Chains A and B, each alone.
Chain A
Amino acid sequence: MSALDNLSTILASGARLTVPLAFAACGEYLAERAGTVNISVEAMMLGGAFSSVAVASATGSATVGLVAGMAIGVVLGFVHGNLSHRAAINTFVVGLVLNTLVLGLTSYLITTNAFEGHQVWQVNVPVLSDIPIVGRALFVERWPAYLLIGLIPLTWWLVERSRWGLELRAVGEAPQAADVTGIDVNRRRRQALLWCGALSGLGGAYLAVGEVGAFSQNMTAGRGYIVIAAVIFGAWRLGRTLLGCALFGLADAMRLALPALGVTLNSQLLIVAPYLLALLAMVVFATKDREPRALGAAFERGTT
């Protein structure tokens, strides 16, 4: 009985840790299909987390904070897109600088301001949450988590089934060819970054006003990089990417839960597990074949 309780607790905590990753992963997946390795997803999550707490404190509403978190993500996506796809600065450079900037800015602002804690409310789905073992993990969540039910299929549809997504994939696979057919390559990539920003900002905001209810310095602590790892692990397919997020979420939950259970596993190993997993996945599955052909390459008309 106690073992089952523990399992249920770990699953529930794993689910809660997975949700912010899943939001951001949907965005990163879409951005990468368009050909951008968006390193600044970390900045988007952290910025989203901070602004959600700041705005929630100012307005007294966690929901407004959530929207503000998304808005900051969109702003960062706009900045990233314009710098890397309009001004054609190396996209990794842009991502790196934005990560440094947002980490510095939020760490600075949190030390000079005090924010009230606010949290979005929790929704227990009536009957379903009583299901043993998985009930608590799947049906007792802060309400924004249920947005995933709509956002995941929407992202999938956008990329795989919509006209826009067809063009988006073309832009990620063969920008020159897409350009010839009259698609504005860099415009599509900028649009993809806006979507990525909105979802990553939401993911960060969920972490702050959803699970924790406060902001602390560097609270995303590399979750953005985990998201990038998840997309690679998922070989640029949405389903597997989300599976990767769930794995990483569970690994995180295990790391937190094991000491309490009296199991001593090497904590460094557990921290490093997601990254190691992603690297191994890249090496073993040779994702070369699945990866968007033009991933990470800047596009400029007339250079080929």
Chain B
Amino acid sequence: MSGTKQAAPAGSAPRPQQGGGDGPGRRLITYLEPGGLGGGLPTAGTTVLAVAVALVLSSLLVAATGGSPSDAVRALFEGSLGGSTAWSSTLLYTAPLLLVAVGACISTRAGVFNLGQEGQLLIGALAGAWVALRLAVPGPALLLIALVAAMVAGGAWAGLSSLMHRWRGVNIVVSTLLMTFLAQQLVAFAVTTPWLLQETRLGNATVSPQSNKLPEGALLGSLGQYPNLQINGGLLIALLAAVVIAVLIARSRWGFRLTMLGLNPRAARHAGVRVAAMAGAALALSGAFAGLAGAILLTSPVGTNRLQAGISTNIGWDGLLVALVARNRPLLAIPVALLFGVLRSGGGFLAATGVPAFLVDVVKSLLVLAFVIPPVAVAAVRRRKEARRASAQAAPARVPEEAAL
């Protein structure tokens, strides 16, 4: 997975994480190490070990609760990769996950931690559904307008947090988090309110808390129908987004400034980066990608093609986890999003084996820990070793210095 050359070369010595508190305007922004995988072989080894531990723990959990781990693994596999329909559903889940993750890569690289993708995704889906159901534009144009509307809406929703931070110093992490709950209720409100998006009543039919079905023209079609395998347009959009953003981050001036901003905002300011505007734009852009993910979910077959309060099924949260595991590298996010897609579509098949599908959430979070902890742990051990060596060398060296005085 040595995919790209990033601004920070992979395999270089792990850089100490930025401590915060960099001037009053920036202190709420948190840092992640946006560099490469770092640490080289020890990290890779520890990661493999940690993943193994996570899988063993999950199997033990299944066994301890009276299930059969091998059945569970088989069901996960059958439901996600065992056949073309299973593959189709895996790929359909991968697309929105990847889009959310690409957005998260952008904001986190800029040193802004967006915790509200779930809400931005819902707002995107809401805007997309509204446009698709209300505008009388024919065919593909409608789809395009819906996708753009979703991006704008998601970006604006995230932008609100950015504005609140800029004007009133509101903590971005907390505001994006709280805005998620607002978004959830907003969507719930929209789909239970007849004059907004609730299903139209035909005769005496009862209506559900959901919107009408989107018109055919607004649905993302399958590009190419191989024997039962559907490659949905959404996947192509997501892959394209990942590649474009990866190239922009690695090669463009914007990407360099973004990364510099995340690594050292003070240096970025001195270098003439308009810090606040850049960080705000990064947050809005990550919201826009989450919004697009919402529209793609809505218009693709796994999203029921209706706006429902539960349409997101935590894809916003999961997309964020994908970005974490991929350590904010859009290209690395592709295989990770696929892995999460596998867990999602495989999870549906678990119940048949008597193992509750909630197991997938446990596996997912253990895997995230298994990917996130090792690089940091290896770096910490190395740092401690270096400090010990430094102090061992410094001690005798100081004596002649003092003697010379």
Contact = CB atoms under 8 A, between A and B. Distances in A.
Contacts of B20: 294, 296-298
A268 B185 contact: yes
B104 to A, nearest CB: 11
B94 to A, nearest CB: 19
Interface stretch (A45-53, A117-125, A142-150, A272-280): A272-280
A91 B19 CA distance: 12
A101 B178 CA distance: 20
A175 B155 CA distance: 35
A295 B28 contact: yes
B121 to A, nearest CB: 15
A272 B356 contact: no
B228 interface: no
B321 interface: yes
B16 A104 contact: no
A298 B177 contact: no
A163 interface: no
Contacts of A91: 30
A100 B19 contact: no
A83 B370 CA distance: 12
Contacts, number: 172
Interface residues of B, number: 57
Interface in B49-86: 61, 65-67
B164 A283 contact: yes
A296 B30 contact: yes
A300 B373 contact: no
B4 to A, nearest CB: 22
A103 B61 CA distance: 15
Contact of A92 (B17, B61, B173): B173
A222 B177 CA distance: 11
Contacts of B372: 89, 93, 97
A81 to B, nearest CB: 14
Nearest to B19: A303
Given A104-B361, A296-B20, A282 B113 contact: no
A291 B175 CA distance: 14
A175 B182 CA distance: 34
Given A296-B171, A303-B19, A90 B356 contact: no
B356 A111 contact: yes
Contacts of B173: 37, 92, 296
B380 A272 contact: no
A286 B181 contact: no
A275 B178 contact: yes
Task: Using C-beta atoms within 8 Å of the partner chain, give the interface range for chain A.
Answer: 35 or more
Given A89-B373, A268-B189, A297-B27, A175 B164 contact: no
A302 B65 CA distance: 47
B365 A275 contact: no
Contact of B362 (A88, A105, A295): A105
Contacts of B27: 293-297
A92 B115 contact: yes
B390 to A, nearest CB: 11
Q: Which of B16, B67, B169, B178 neighbours the largest number of chain A CB atoms within 10 Å of its CB?
A: B178
A87 B171 contact: no
Contact of A297 (B30, B320, B380): B30
B174 A96 contact: no
A112 B115 CA distance: 32
B360 A282 contact: no
Given A39-B177, A272-B182, A297 B19 contact: yes
A282 B176 CA distance: 13
Interface of A: 37, 39, 83, 86-93, 96-98, 100-101, 103-105, 107-109, 111-113, 175-176, 222, 225, 228-229, 232, 266, 268-269, 271-272, 275-276, 278-279, 282-283, 286-288, 291, 293-300, 302-304
Given A225-B178, A279-B179, A300-B17, 5 more contacts: A92-B30, A93-B324, A232-B171, A288-B24, A298-B30
26 contacts: A83-B373, A88-B380, A90-B30, A90-B32, A92-B173, A96-B317, A104-B364, A105-B362, A225-B178, A225-B181, A232-B171, A232-B174, A268-B188, A271-B185, A282-B164, A283-B170, A286-B168, A287-B169, A288-B169, A296-B27, A296-B28, A296-B30, A300-B17, A303-B17, A303-B18, A304-B19
The 6 A-B residue pairs whose C-beta atoms are closest, nearest first, are: A297-B20, A104-B361, A288-B169, A101-B365, A303-B19, A108-B358
